[in-house]
Structure 1
């Protein structure tokens, strides 16, 4: 039986939405898939009679398998700003989020070739994936979708090289350790020359260590701003590894689409609804 994930999602940007009309659930993988899969997820919405709702996220350095409205795709790491989608009417999406670097053993090329791209599930997993696509798209119970996906992946589990597992764990440490803010720190942590580390990240993760550091620090910033415990924007910028407040505001606006002050105002408006 799949287990719900209780930890709060990171990277979801706050937007006002009608109460009780949108459901987001996540489920932990089985022990066999835990080295590869971070979680399964589903978003369901019923906005009939309501205006569209803009959903926005700051993507993680992870590959997703996404099943929605007649198609199933493998999505590489998305680096172009934030992911934006208007939710309309009544529909649902089911997805599988792989851990950083952990999709590389399934893919016969460097993951950088998949960055900012999407391929059909069939292109990556062959014609047998058609049955999985049809089964998941026809199954309304998300827990049953998890079971279908687990059965499919467990029959195709590749070997997980030790180096890939170490890169996976390193990326996840960058997400949880806010003291790591510079490329030099990361290279020293693993005892690797920065250029070599960059090549390893490109092949196994799909993006550079610098991109990962910036994205996770912006995740941290968005979360801290929503919690409303930030009184010193310049101090927050320094904590996140920025030289000054202006560079932080510039990067935040470039990725999130609005400056921190406006994002805070929108997030507070969303929580009041």
Structure 2
């Protein structure tokens, strides 16, 4: 399994978290992989064989070959049908809203084909260029040129939303919205509305996801820490609260996380961030 991340162009660094590739020579026998919320939106191109996204225990759809994966609020499962070769762009929570007119909240928990967001002709040309590129570096250059050309058509990031998200990341999701706004409580309703518009979920929900991500990384990097210690360090009220949030966003208990073969892909991704 080859998973790598690449830094974005400096002009995109405030809205693009990274570019990434994933390659698995033959994933046809791989178990389902559980994908959990991370607070980000991704534009993904499937360059290998098809990938299933399960809608129930037994039913699935094939993911679009060129798509945007919206905010995830509950865990879901994917499974490759053969050779895995994917190239993607991971946006900060507020990042992707700068490139489309479609309300971001409409993309939540969905795989939206690029043509629905950018039009058939534009999406087809971009997908063709990505497929025909001879290297990851060339693909990054192609998609960054596309994003930079679209960005020039859009307004700048809402500063209240951005500063709130920055605070949530800096505190691993621990900062309360009241403390972030401080003496600007009158702006809270406006913040909630703009969050749904540019991020797709509420500030409170994003804070929970960021805090969980910090706890997941602690689990992966733990030495002899107990679940109680991890819950305390992640600022959960108690271990029961930690376990409840963990199960909500991952579908399993924390103690089962490291040994679950359906979490191999997620564990690899989180261990490298």
Do residues 96 (structure 1) and 96 (structure 2) align?
no
Contact 2:21 / 2:87 at 8 angstroms: preserved in 1?
yes
1:225 equivalent to 2:204? Answer: no
Q: Secondary structure at the match of 1:94?
A: strand
Q: Equivalent residue of 1:64, what SS?
A: strand
TM-score (structure 2 length as normaliser)? 0.78
- Alignment size in residue pairs: 247
Tell whether the 8 Å contact from 2:44 to 2:66 is kept in structure 1 after alignment.
Answer: yes
CA separation of 1:129 and 1:251: change in aligned 2, threshold 3 A:
same
**Partner of 2:112 in structure 1?**
119
Q: Equivalences for 1:185-264 in 2 at 5 Å?
A: 185-188=179-182, 192-229=186-223, 231-264=225-258
Rate the CA distance shift 1:168–1:58 in 2: closer, same or farther, 3 A: farther
Counterpart CA distance in 2 for 1:179 and 1:93 is 29
**Equivalence for 1:80:** 74
**Change beyond 3 A, Cα 1:140–1:58:** farther
SS of corresponding position for 1:61:
coil
- Paired with 2:152 and 2:199, the residues of 1 have a C-alpha distance of 17
* 1:62 maps onto 2:35 in alignment: no
How far, CA to CA, are the matches of 1:96 and 1:262 in structure 2? 30
Deviation for aligned residue 1:259: 0.9
1:51 to 22, 29, 32: 29
Instruction: Output one character per residue of 1:98-153: Cα deviation in whole Å (capped at 9) or x when no partner.
Output: 22212212221432122223322122222222111012123352221111112222
Q: Give RMSD over aligned pairs.
A: 2.8
- Where 2:158 maps in the other structure, the secondary structure is helix
| Greater alpha carbon shift after TM alignment, 173-182 vs 185-194 | 185-194
Runs (5+) with no aligned partner, structure 1: 1-21
Quick check: 2:73–2:249 contact (8 Å CA) kept in 1?
Answer: no
Q: Which ranges of structure 2 fall in alignment gaps of 5 or more residues?
A: 48-63, 268-273
Q: Counterparts of 1:152-163 in structure 2 under 5 Å?
A: 152-158=146-152, 161=155
Deviation at 1:31, TM superposition (A): 2.0
Give CA-to-partner distance per residue, 1:14-44, whole Å, 9 cap, x none.
Answer: xxxxxxxx11111111122223322111111
Change (3 A) 1:194 1:154: closer
Q: Please list every run of at least 4 consecutive aligned residues from structure 1 whose deviation after the TM superposition is greater than 6 angstroms.
A: none
Aligned partners of 1:58 and 1:219 also within 8 Å: no
Q: 1:178 — aligned with what?
A: 172
* TM-score (structure 1 length as normaliser): 0.78
Query: Residue 92 and residue 191 in structure 1: after superposition, are their counterparts in 2 closer, same or farther (change >3 A)?
Result: same
Contact 2:231-2:239 at 8 Å conserved across structures: yes
Aligned match of 1:14: none
Relative distance call for 1:178 and 1:94 in structure 2 (3 A) is closer
- What is the distance in 2 between the residues matched to 1:125 and 1:107? 7
